[in-house]
Structure formats: structure tokens, C-alpha cells
Structure 1
Amino acid sequence: MVEEQRQGSGRALFLRHFEPRDARRQRGDVIAASSVDPAFEQRSGVFGHCRNRRISGDLAMTNFEQPLASTHADKKLRTDSWRFGLIALIAFLTLVDLFAAQAVLPSLVERFQVSRATMGFAVNASTFGMAVAGLLVAFFGGGVDRRNGIWISLALLSIPTTLLAFADNIIVFAALRVLQGLCMSTAFTLTAAYLSEHFSAGKTVGALAAYVTGNVASNLFGRMLSAAIAGVGGLSLNFLIFAGLNLLGAALVWFTLKKTANMMRTNNRGSVASRIWSVHLADPDLRRVFVIGFLILFVFIGTYTYVNFQIVALGVAPMALGLVYLVFLPSIVTTPFAGKLASYVGSKAAMVLTLAMAVLGLVALLSRNLPIILAGLTLVAIGTFLAQAIATGIIGGRATSDKAGASGIYLASYYTGGMIGSLALGQVYDHLGWNACVFVLITALGAAMLLGSSLSAPP
């Protein structure tokens, strides 16, 4: 009798498994279908039929599902790490030309026989091209295929970089730097838009943080590589090798990024210009972040351009100044955590905290002690790069449409801040001294913190 009951129960359970799901749901034997991943069932074959069962009102995973879910999570983590590393490498190859020329400024002064101020202006002319290209992409980049726009921009970047190896006129040199800025900014803006469009809201900040990390690496290793190559093979070889890096970046984008359709076209709401003004600039949070970006590079350029004079005054040899840029090294480690920080405390609080860290670094720059100054520069780098990564993440999240336009406006504002910071802080330094410069820089970051604290809750 007992054996017959067992067999009957087994047949009942077997038949119950093939009953309609609604009937089984009514008896509470299985959980709702929404808790089962259809893709997981298809991949797992027979194990996909193992359902979560209700045990004493609690949901428990079967022994089959636990190792499979753990393996899936580990695989996803490895995939994300690989993708973020690739993003950082693309960023490095996109922006490696931007500050590399600063590392060979003395050699350029000797080559063109001009003043340091004139050569410095010519080298930094690339930021003008960056700002202009940011606006151009904002107004006309909506219908551009992201992948094609990025790799073509990097391929074209190799042309002015190659011509710099043969330039013998300061005006031609400055014009080529502007062209470099146009190509770099176009690639940068389209990549930021691509990442915002192809990652989920939770992953966008992390992806953009990886991109900013590549930017940090280009600041540090681009300068060091440029100085090393120029010291061994001269300026011409230096620019030719960097042109090769531009082509390497174009090839990397071609083979790794997915081809996409045009993401945004002009619609019935009006012209491209009116769309950008009515959508992006009408958003109070986007306006605040645009200004924050302006202030971030204003402070960054102003700090790292004029602190060198203070360091030289402490007895550091001019040739050793290149080692000062090793203060960027910790930022390569910290910047990838911008996404996690924003997720943990919120974008608003993360923005204020990172800018506050940079303010502490600026205060340290008032010291006459070299280790304290270097520690301050490290904090400024960590804080500003984290803030930039968080800001780009906010742009990607807040801009629900035409992300290329939003990214373009942000970068135009960002690089305009760098240009004005270089010019304005130079005047302050010449007329009022370093302490006055630090006061202006702290005031600028204080304004950025105030704007950051007024941001609404993250989307």
C-alpha cells in the first residue's frame, strides 16, 4: 500500500510539472514566471526546468542553479573588466597627443626660436580646436554613425600629427595643433555618446569612468613617452611615432566597437540648434554640469601650468619637472571607482566629495615644502579626475536623447574652461602672485561644489 502511494505521488508530481503554469501558480507550488530567466532556461537545457520552489514561504535556489548563477556572475564580471579596459585604451590613444607636446616644450622653444609664452600658446592651441569640435558635434553630430565617426577622426588625426614632424613655422605649428584638437574632440565626444547609448544606466558611469581613466593615463604616460622619444630620436621622430599611435587607435575602434545606426536625426520639433537649446540647455541639471566641467578644467590647467614656477623656486631643476606629473599615477587607480562611488553615495554627494578633496589639495599648495606640494597636487588630480568622470556620467544619464549633443556641449564648456584658466591665471600670477592664484582656484572649486550640491536626485 505504501509503495502504491509513493508511485501515485510520483506520477502526480510528474504530471503536475506539465500542467498549465496558471494552475500551478494557484497552488503556490512554483514562483511567478517573472522570477525565471527565459534566456537562462534556454542555455541550461534540462537544468533550466529546475524552478525555484516555495519552502516555508521563502525562496531558495536549487543546488543546480547556485553554481550556474555564480559562474554566470563571474563571467559577467570578467567581461565588464575586459570591456572597461578596452574603453580606457581607446581613450588613451584618442587623447595621447593633447598634452604630450608640453613635455617637449623646451625643445620646441629652441627649434622655433620663440618665447616660452608664444610656444606655450601654440602648444595649447589644441584646446581651442577641442572646444570648437565639441560644439560642432553638438549641433551636427546627431546623425553621425558613432563607430565610423570615431575611427575616421582618429585616422585623420594622424595627418596633422605627421605634419608636425616637418613644421618649421610657429603659425603652421599652431594651426596643426588646432586641427589635432578638432579630431581628438570629435572622437572623444562621439565615444562618450556611444558609451552612454550602449551601456545601461547603472553601467554608464563606470564605462565613462574607464574612459576618463584612459584620459588620465594619456596625461601621464603621453608626457613621459614624448619626452623619452624626443630625447633619444628628436622631435620629428616623436611626432611620427605619435601619428602611428593615432592609426593604432583607429584600427582598435574599427575592430572592437560595434557598427551602429544613426542614433538621432533632426525631427519635427525644429532645427538642430533649437533642439539643443530647448532640450539640453533647458535642463537645469545639465546646465549646472556644463558649468562644473568648465570650472574643473579651469582649475586643472591653472594649477598644473603655474605650480611649476613655485617648484622651480624651491630648487628643483627644470629637467626634473617632468617627474612632477607622476602625481597623476594614483588617479589611474582611483578614477575607475567613480561609478561605484556615485552608486554608493549618489552622484550629487560624490561630486561634492571629490571636489572637496581637490580643494584640500589646493590648500596644500600654499606650503613651501615640496613633499606637501606634491601631496596637494596628487589630491587635486584625484579629485578633479573623479569629478570629471562623475560629471560625464551625469550627462549620459540626464540626456535622454541626442547624447552626442549633450556630450559636445559639455566638452566645449570643459575645454573653454581650460583656455580661460590658462590665460586668466597667468595674469593673476604675474600681477598678484601664487597665493592669489590659489585663492582664485579655491573659489572656482567652491562654486563648482555649490552647483554640485544643487543637483537633483540622479535619474
Structure 2
Amino acid sequence: MHGKIPMASYDEAVASKLRRVSTDSLRFGIIALIAFLTLVDLFAAQAILPSLVVKFSVSRATMGFAVNASTFGMAIAGVAVALLGRNIDRRNGIWFSLVVLAIPTALLSITDSIAMFALLRVLQGLCMSAAFTLTIAYLAEHFSPGQAAGALAAYVTGNVASNFFGRILSAAVADGFGISINFLTFAALNIAGALLVWLTLKKTDRMMRIDADHPPVGGAWKAHFKNRELRGSFAIGFLILFVFIGTFTYVNFQLAAAPLALSPMALGLVYFVFLPSMLTTPLAGRVARRFGPANGIVLTLGIAIAGLLALLTPNLPIVLAGMALIAIGTFLAQAIATGHVSRVAARDKAAASGIYLASYYSGGLVGSFVLGQVYDRLGWTTCVVVLVAALIAATIIARPLTAPRV
């Protein structure tokens, strides 16, 4: 008596759930692809650093600093959008930023000036950061809390993928067709990202308000810097990208030099070391919940320290394993620190995120400069010592962090 109707209802429920899962999977896949196309330019040029040194006839430190000048633009735009972006339509702001991003990317293909190269990289950073920050705001405003967590995880995964595939693509295109075609290829990807945003994201009238009822922005920022938990998180973010960029910029020269002597294409394939971190980064939330933010960051940075020590060997498999551990540890720690900032900030969370983003990318720029000088003057072993010391400092700063009461 109860067979047919309950069975029909069950089938309908299963079909509805499958449709919902399919829709969510498609939606999150699109979000991950937008993230990929937004940040694919950020670190791709690191894979062809030895070739760029030859083209511009400059030192490794100078070229490394110029390539990573994009992080300066990222830091500036992160703060600017947090302060001024409340009245920007998210969808229009994202696609427009990606269209504009294609301009400096294309111009990189024709410049022969190292100063102009660095300036164009800064402009790239400004555009990438604007699109990045506006997308995060869009996801927070257009999804339920449960959906937003999945959407942000998809976006982070797309960012990690851009680190991985961007480097491989850059090395492959530069090796096969030359440096100029490489940058034109990435300009085409920027346009593709803008088109994807235009076609898939909804235009919105609702803007992200930065706590309008609370004190002025300057007072809120001052309160953030007075908060020990936030100060610590900002410093940890600075040190994480200091180490990440310092490592993955200058390890290229070690891999290209004897005894390893890898070709440009082989250098690109080396970045398959990012593949494990694409699988582990979404676990950051579980790590933070189980161990707390302090122990979670200490544990994950401990993994990265072990990876750094492995870079001192001339054995390629061990070096690759070390690079994989560094990527896993730093990406996990960065995700934990980012989440901690959003939970700890009592008000004006956009400003807190903007400060963290500025600190994070400033660390990358400083790391590129400092490690370049150390590498040129004192060698790779000293570089690794400096990098290990930076991560030890980050673990010390992390120790007082506490999980906020819910």
C-alpha cells in the first residue's frame, strides 16, 4: 500500500538532489575557471626567468624583482578596492579589470626595457588584484553561507591551479614559440576570462557596504592594527609569500644550472609539484578546526621547512619532493591565516582582508628583492637558511593565535 507513492517521491527527491549537485558542480567549476584565468599571469613568468635574464641582459636579482613587481600592484589594488570598491558593480568591475589586464600583458611581448617590463608587471598586478577582490565580494554577496564556503573553496582551488598550469603553459609556449608569443597567449587568456565573467556572472545592484554604521574607515583600520590576533595574521601572511616567492623564483636558477641543468620545457614540467597542493589546500578548514589556528599554522609551516631543507641536495627527485612540500605547507598556512582574519575581525572585514592582502603581497615583493640579493652575493645555501629563518619566525608569531569564540 505504501509502495508506489513513496517510491515515486523517493525517485523525485533523488533526481532533484542529482540536479542540484550537478548545478553546484557546474557553478563551482565556472568559479574555479574564473579564478584560474584571473591569476594565471601572476607567477607564470617565473618559469621562464633564465630566458628573461638572457633577453634583458640583467642580473638574476634584477630580473626576479621585475617579474615579481606584480605583487606590488596586487598589494596596492587590494587596499584600494577594499576602501573604494563598495560602489562598484561586481560583475562589471571583474570583466573590465580582465579586459584591461590584457593590455599590459600584450605589451610585455614587445618591450625591451627592464624598467618598462617591471612597470607593466605592476599594472598587471593592479588589474589582477581588482578582479580577485571583487570576485571574493561577489561570492560572499550572492551565495548562501553554505554555498559561499564551497564557492570560496572552488576559487582557492582555481588560484592554486593557476600557479600550476600557468607556469607549465608559460614554459611550453616560450620554449616552442618564443617569449613574445608567450605573453600574447596569456593576453588571450585574459580576454577569455573577461568573456567568461560576462556570460556567467549576474549583474548586481547590491554593493558590499563596509560597515556604514561603524566609525570611519581610518578608525576601523587602526582598530585592526591594535588587535594582536590580526597583527600576527598580517605578519604571517607577509612571511608566507616572502618565502613562497623567494623559493619559487630563485630555485629556477638552481634547476637550470649544473648539475641539474634542466631545459626551459623541463623547468615548466617541474611545476607538477603544485598538483598535490591542489588536493590538500581545500583541507585547510579541517586542519584549523582540528588543531586550532596556531597549531595548524605551525604544523603546515613545519611541512614547508622540511621541504626547504630538501632543496639543499643536488638530487632532482628529492628537490622536487621538497618543492611539493613547500607548496603544500605554504598554501595550507595561507588558507588558515586568511580564514582566521575573517573570523577575528569584529567589524569592517573588507578592510581587514585588504590589509592582509597588502601584507601578503608586500611580503612577496620584499622576498623577491631580498632573496635576489642574497642569491647573487652569498649563494643558494644562504638563501635556504634565510627562508627557513623566515618560516620559523612565522611559527613563533603564530603561537599566541587563538580560535575565536563562536
The TM tier, using the shorter chain, reads 0.7 to 0.9
Report the Cα offset of residue 66 of structure 1.
6.4
Q: Does structure 2 conserve the Cα–Cα contact (< 8 Å) formed by 1:209 and 1:336?
A: yes
Alignment of 1:20-169 (within 5 A): 74-169=18-113
Report the Cα offset of residue 131 of structure 1.
1.4
- Alignment partner of 1:242 out of 153, 175, 186: 186
User: Which structure 2 segments of 5+ residues have no match?
Assistant: none
Question: What do residues 371-415 of structure 1 show as CA deviations (whole Å, max 9, x unaligned)?
Answer: 222111111111111222233333344445544323221111111
The SS at the match of 1:231 is helix
Paired amino acid for 1:324: V
Q: Does structure 1 conserve the Cα–Cα contact (< 8 Å) formed by 2:371 and 2:383?
A: yes
- Alignment partner of 1:179 out of 120, 123, 141: 123
1:326 has 2:272 as partner: yes
| Aligned equivalent of 1:53 | none
Give, in whole Å, the separation in 1 of the partners of 2:269 and 2:305.
23
The SS at the match of 2:298 is helix
Give, in whole Å, the separation in 2 of the partners of 1:399 and 1:207.
21
Question: What do residues 75-99 of structure 1 show as CA deviations (whole Å, max 9, x unaligned)?
Answer: 5444443333222211110111112
Deviates more, 1:64-73 or 1:186-195: 64-73
Deviates more, 1:115-124 or 1:372-381: 115-124
Report the Cα offset of residue 194 of structure 1.
2.9
Give the 3 Å change call, closer, same or farther, for CA 281–220 of structure 1 in structure 2. Answer: same
| Aligned equivalent of 1:36 | none
Q: Does structure 1 conserve the Cα–Cα contact (< 8 Å) formed by 2:56 and 2:113?
A: yes
1:267 has 2:267 as partner: no
| Aligned equivalent of 1:287 | 231
- Alignment partner of 2:357 out of 392, 411, 418: 411
The SS at the match of 1:141 is helix
Give, in whole Å, the separation in 2 of the partners of 1:386 and 1:454.
19
Give, in whole Å, the separation in 1 of the partners of 2:383 and 2:147.
38
Paired amino acid for 2:350: A
Deviates more, 1:440-449 or 1:157-166: 440-449
| Aligned equivalent of 2:328 | 382
- Alignment partner of 1:426 out of 355, 358, 372: 372
Give, in whole Å, the separation in 2 of the partners of 1:139 and 1:283.
19
Q: TM-score, normalised by structure 1?
A: 0.77
The SS at the match of 1:104 is helix
| Aligned equivalent of 1:437 | 383
The SS at the match of 1:142 is helix
Give, in whole Å, the separation in 1 of the partners of 2:147 and 2:292.
14
Give the 3 Å change call, closer, same or farther, for CA 77–155 of structure 1 in structure 2. Answer: same
| Aligned equivalent of 2:319 | 373
Give, in whole Å, the separation in 1 of the partners of 2:102 and 2:23.
31
Q: TM-score, normalised by structure 2?
A: 0.86
- Alignment partner of 1:454 out of 370, 386, 400: 400
Give the 3 Å change call, closer, same or farther, for CA 176–313 of structure 1 in structure 2. Answer: closer
Give, in whole Å, the separation in 2 of the partners of 1:240 and 1:309.
25
Deviates more, 1:307-316 or 1:214-223: 307-316
Give the 3 Å change call, closer, same or farther, for CA 184–297 of structure 1 in structure 2. Answer: same
Report the Cα offset of residue 221 of structure 1.
1.3
The SS at the match of 1:281 is helix
Paired amino acid for 1:302: G
Deviates more, 1:307-316 or 1:232-241: 307-316
Paired amino acid for 1:456: T
- Alignment partner of 1:355 out of 301, 304, 328: 301
Report the Cα offset of residue 250 of structure 1.
1.4
Q: Does structure 2 conserve the Cα–Cα contact (< 8 Å) formed by 1:128 and 1:415?
A: yes
The SS at the match of 1:456 is coil
Question: Whose relative contact order is higher, 1 or 2, with alpha carbons under 8 Å and at least 6 apart?
Answer: 2
Q: Does structure 1 conserve the Cα–Cα contact (< 8 Å) formed by 2:61 and 2:369?
A: no
Q: Does structure 2 conserve the Cα–Cα contact (< 8 Å) formed by 1:154 and 1:247?
A: yes
Give the 3 Å change call, closer, same or farther, for CA 249–398 of structure 1 in structure 2. Answer: farther
Report the Cα offset of residue 107 of structure 1.
3.9
Give, in whole Å, the separation in 1 of the partners of 2:241 and 2:92.
28
Give the 3 Å change call, closer, same or farther, for CA 344–82 of structure 1 in structure 2. Answer: farther
Deviates more, 1:330-339 or 1:397-406: 397-406
The SS at the match of 1:457 is coil
Give the 3 Å change call, closer, same or farther, for CA 291–68 of structure 1 in structure 2. Answer: farther
| Aligned equivalent of 2:284 | 338
Q: Alignment length, in residue pairs? A: 398
Report the Cα offset of residue 156 of structure 1.
1.2
Give the 3 Å change call, closer, same or farther, for CA 139–303 of structure 1 in structure 2. Answer: same
Give, in whole Å, the separation in 2 of the partners of 1:434 and 1:125.
22
Give, in whole Å, the separation in 2 of the partners of 1:325 and 1:244.
22
The SS at the match of 1:290 is helix
Equivalent pairs: percent with the same residue? 63
| Aligned equivalent of 1:11 | none
| Aligned equivalent of 1:227 | 171
Give, in whole Å, the separation in 2 of the partners of 1:200 and 1:398.
21
Q: Does structure 2 conserve the Cα–Cα contact (< 8 Å) formed by 1:357 and 1:380?
A: yes
Report the Cα offset of residue 364 of structure 1.
2.3
Paired amino acid for 1:214: G
Deviates more, 1:370-379 or 1:167-176: 167-176
Paired amino acid for 1:450: I
Larger Rg, first or second structure (1 or 2): 1
